[in-house]
Chains A and B, each alone.
Chain A
Amino acid sequence: MEKQEVNHLGFGKFFGPTYKKHLTRQKEFLERGRPCGWYFGYHPAEMNYVFDVVNIFPEQYSAYCASRGDSGNMIDDYLSMGYGSFLCDYFKCSVGAIDKPEVATKPLMPKPDFTVDHHTICLGHRQMAEVHARMYGVPRFSLTFPYLRKEDIGSFDDITKVTERMDEDVLEYAVSILHEFASFLKKMTGEEMDEDKFKSVMKTSEETTKHFTDVLKLFMSKPTPGSQRDLANFPFIGFFIHGSEYGLEYVKKCHELIKERVKKREGIVQDEKFRLITHGIMPWHTLALYDYMEELGATFPLNPYANCSAVLHDSKRPFESMARRMSNFCNVEHEGMLDALVKKAKEADVDGAILFENTGCRIVSLVMRPIRDALHEELGIPSLIVEAPQCDPRAMPVERMKTQIEAFLESLE
């Protein structure tokens, strides 16, 4: 197939300075003796900025290790500890890194004073957190938001997480857990919650989420204005640093760029041949795979994995806004989840889907075939499911993925 040049939006150039600010904050806080928490899952990140804790994300660290080509050794060490192959790759890497720091990517994660897990992406997070908390003998807090049934929320928007309705009992329970979480952080820091700071962090978060969700909506424009490389850092912002000034600065800049491009009706390739959905955790060890697909004229206006990390906040209702993270794609029973996806697929006017099944991740893998079937039944469009563990390059060689993908794209032609 003929190759084209990919005209990335260039979100990447803003990310370096943003990440540097994040690391500087962490370093300064560690030097000041602020407590350090390890966070697992889609937690209300804002609270870290209210309580000034050092926020570490083992998943993001694992993705980073994979992108640096180090994850193989860490996974080998993990296996030598007696763990099985069919668990989350993120877990494999972070456990391997703790057990054998000499093979792990530097800088290592600073030791935690506590762990926090949140289950609305997967219940695996609670077990991962427990293993890590035990390794260090530190306290652990679980944000135990319930899994949602379609009846609880009606329809929902995959990007903003705004729901048609919200079951009162579920919301009340989630909000009460957030209050417990605030109490836990009070205990960990030995400080009361600063209400003014809370308000201001929530305002920052609200503004961030407005830009953030708008960028994702604009991604669905025709032609697709951005590449998957552009989007690759978005989950980091959405999952981990909402509420920070540097996160806001980043998304604002990205928003400006994408608005400009959409206004000019420019796409990432000259000839957009296929508009596709991509879902599944990105194979961090080989993001070049997306470049390859885009060079072949396949663009991705819709990425439900990235959309998972988006939420729209209303700073006047801070706790309810944070609870809204519940209504993400992974935490809603398939019926509701597939309705939301099909709706977005129609809006984005896609021709098919390339779905990455992350071996060891149940919540992602078990939805791939239902997505394939729903897209086929509702929209008559085909999907390709590619086995792609997100951090282990050895489990599925890139060349094999490329062959599968190329054959699929040819069939679309």
Chain B
Amino acid sequence: MNEVDEKFYETYGKKTKIREYQGSGKKILGSFCSYTPEEIIHAAGLVPIRIFGERTDMEEVNTHVSSWICYYARRCLEDGLQGDYEFLDGIVSVTSDDTNMPMYSIWKKEVGANYAYLVQLPFAINETAIKFYTKILKKFKRSLEEFYSVKITDQRLKDSIKTYNRSRALLRELYDLRMSMSPKISASDTLKIMLASYSMLKEEFNDLLEGYIADLKESEPLNDEKIRVHVSGTVLHDVELLEIIEGCGVDIVSDDLCTGSRYFSFNVDETYEPIEALSRGYLSSKTTCMTCSRQGVYPLDERLSYIRDQVKASGADGVIILGDKGCDLCAYGLPTMRKELGKDIPILYLDVDFPLAAEQYKTRVEAFVESIKG
């Protein structure tokens, strides 16, 4: 077992830390979106984790949702219905899209949760929206305080914000090492670390990651010369898929995944009153799923410009878009994205379907690599 698997991936795959926290009486809350203001949950002394579905055979879920809904939602619900998340005390979701909102309700009823809260997004980015979202977050804080009989003081919030900012900074550092001209870490290993960040308390994760980054800096780069690629998509947690791509002579050097750079692309300004700081921070993210946007701006332009910046910074030779046909957030913008990005850089679109058709993906990625090599 390599170091990443041992230190990080086990915490996700075997839920080692979660079991440990549970054993010490801590309550675990699961969320469905990168927009969830985890800092507030953390400041309440609870453990925020992200829900992912591991199963690919859909049995129970088809009784509750249509078969064409995104894989993320269906797999989460399947695992929930099969009892894989019985350790959760509650769930928190945000109103980020037409799938996430009903998924929250369906989970609440069919899987069950002692505590359930839906955080309402303002869908806009401006001062009025920030003010509104601050109030929404205050209500969320009050709800946690009442339900769990805790006092979330400003100091606790500030500490949590600091911890999360530190986490985001470390993840950026890790990504830089992946992005360098001689990458020191693969994307599949990076994803394993990301998954660990969703499966343990951030302070512990930070300590682990800090040590790991220090070692990584001293290590030799991954040696072989490969094609450099940016990966675009939403929620990806299937390490195997990245391994298939990497196995075709590709270094994935940047991404705009929800489970990747989008998760840490913003910072929370610690000079504001803490809840307002969170409101400003989360709404400042330029990499939204287009759910909150500025008036007068096409959200897709913002996403495209984020991808272009990433591609420029990473020196990627191509972009691989990982699509889920059931994800409307991606699907509405997909042809435009392909067209616009395709003007500057070769694009490969892969339809992500389960079980993963490894051979088919391999053939397509290999052909893409060959076409880039010319």
Contacts and interface: CB of A to CB of B under 8 A. Distances in A.
Interface of A: 81-87, 91, 119, 122-124, 126-128, 130-131, 133-134, 139-142, 144-149, 169-170, 172-173, 176-177, 180, 184, 333-335, 357, 359-360, 362-363, 365-370
Given A86-B68, A142-B295, A173-B128, A334 B300 contact: no
Interface string B314-338: 0000000001011011011111101
B109 A370 contact: yes
Contact of B106 (A140, A184, A334): A334
B123 A333 contact: no
A124 B65 contact: no
B298 A84 contact: no
**Most chain A Cβ neighbours within 10 Å, of B102, B135, B290, B325:** B102
B201 interface: no
Given A128-B332, A147-B121, A177-B124, 7 more contacts: A126-B123, A131-B332, A142-B124, A144-B123, A177-B128, A180-B295, A365-B69
Contacts of A91: 332
A149 B332 contact: no
Contact of B97 (A82, A123, A145, A148): A123
Interface string B101-129: 11111101100000000101111100011
A133 B336 CA distance: 12
Given A86-B328, A87-B332, A133-B298, A122 B122 contact: no
B165 interface: no
Interface of B: 63-66, 68-69, 95, 97-99, 101-106, 108-109, 118, 120-124, 128-129, 132, 135-136, 139, 290-291, 293, 295-296, 298-300, 323, 325-326, 328-329, 331-336, 338
Nearest to B63: A369
Given A86-B328, A123-B291, A142 B123 contact: yes
A146 B120 contact: yes
Contact of A173 (B118, B122, B326): B122
B135 A169 contact: yes
A362 B327 CA distance: 10
A69 B122 CA distance: 39
The 5 closest A-B pairs by CB, nearest first: A334-B105, A144-B123, A127-B332, A366-B102, A362-B98
Nearest to A131: B332
Given A335-B105, A357-B66, A366-B106, A87 B331 contact: yes
A15 B106 CA distance: 39
A127 B102 contact: no
Nearest to B338: A82
A47 B118 CA distance: 31
A176 B328 CA distance: 28
A363 B102 contact: yes
Nearest to B97: A123
Contacts of B69: 362, 365-366
Contact of A369 (B65, B139, B293, B333): B65
Nearest to B117: A149
Given A144-B124, A369-B63, A86 B101 contact: no
13 contacts: A87-B332, A124-B332, A126-B293, A142-B124, A144-B124, A146-B121, A149-B118, A169-B139, A170-B120, A177-B128, A184-B295, A366-B66, A370-B105
B78 to A, nearest CB: 14
Given A124-B98, A142-B295, A81 B63 contact: no
A145 B123 CA distance: 8
Contacts of A180: 128, 295
A130 B335 CA distance: 13
Nearest to A179: B128
B128 A124 contact: no
A134 to B, nearest CB: 6
Contact of B331 (A83, A335, A370): A83
Contacts of B97: 123
Contacts of A134: 298, 300, 336
Contacts of B295: 141-142, 180, 184
Contacts of A127: 290, 328-329, 332-333
The interface centre, meaning the residue of A87, A123, A140, A333 with most chain B CB atoms within 10 A of its CB, is A123
A86 B298 contact: no
A176 B134 CA distance: 16
